Amino acid sequence: MVCLEVVRARGHSNISALHRTTIEITRERELTPRGDCVIGVASDKSPLDFSEEFKKCARRDEAIIVIVLEASGLQDTVLAHGSSKLVLTSSTKIILRKSTYIDPATVAIRASKAAGDLRRDLVEKLKDPDTVLEAKLYCLDLDEVTSIYRGAGGVF
């Protein structure tokens, strides 16, 4: 079973995406230069709004979360893990973390990228307030990935 959440947000002139350990998308409309992990503002969802199905999937230690970020025809992908410790109750922000730290905004841990690792051409587009960021969060179970791999004869 694959669960999907689609989050839409906007760019902002203060987006720098330089943070080395996190990525954040926020419902807040304003952003100061200190928010160097933020890649989108005025989002239409927070973890509190996610479906129970997605939350249940993400709250498994075996969960793999694939985040596809797209804006102005440019795309980047982040791979991360779920956790049985996820709270998913923030009403304002979505955070992907390279670390294993969990708070109400944490949606995924042990992420393959932080804001500073994202494609710089994508980040440049996100500095424009008219740019729409679409983040697709796919949650699947590691056992499902393994069975697909075996079903493909061990080759992808």
Q: Indicate the helix (H) or strand (E) that contains 133.
A: strand 132-141
Q: How many domains is the chain built from?
A: 1
* Position 11 in a domain: yes
pLDDT bracket for residue 149 (50, 70, 90):
low
Over residues 83-119, the pLDDT tens digits come to: 999 999 999 999 999 999 999 999 999 999 999 999 9
- The pLDDT value recorded for residue 137 is 98
- The pLDDT value recorded for residue 4 is 97
- The pLDDT value recorded for residue 148 is 58
pLDDT bracket for residue 1 (50, 70, 90):
confident
Q: Chain-wide mean pLDDT for the chain?
A: 94
pLDDT above 90 for 31: yes
pLDDT bracket for residue 141 (50, 70, 90):
confident
pLDDT above 70 for 81: yes
Q: What is the dihedral of CA 30, 32, 38, 41, to 10 degrees?
A: 10
Buried b (16+ CB within 10 A) or exposed e, 116-127: bbbeeebbbbbe
Grouping H, G, I as helix, E, B as strand and the rest as coil, residue 56 is helix
What distance in Å separates the CA atoms of residue 27 and residue 63, rounded to the nearest whole number? 25
* Position 151 in a domain: no
* Position 150 in a domain: no
* Position 37 in a domain: yes
Burial class of residue 41 in the structure, from the number of CB atoms within 10 Å of its CB (0-12 exposed, 13-18 middle, 19+ buried): buried
* Position 148 in a domain: no
The parent domain of residue 98 ranges over 3-143
> Residue 81 maps to which CATH number?
2.60.120.630
* Position 149 in a domain: no
* Position 153 in a domain: no
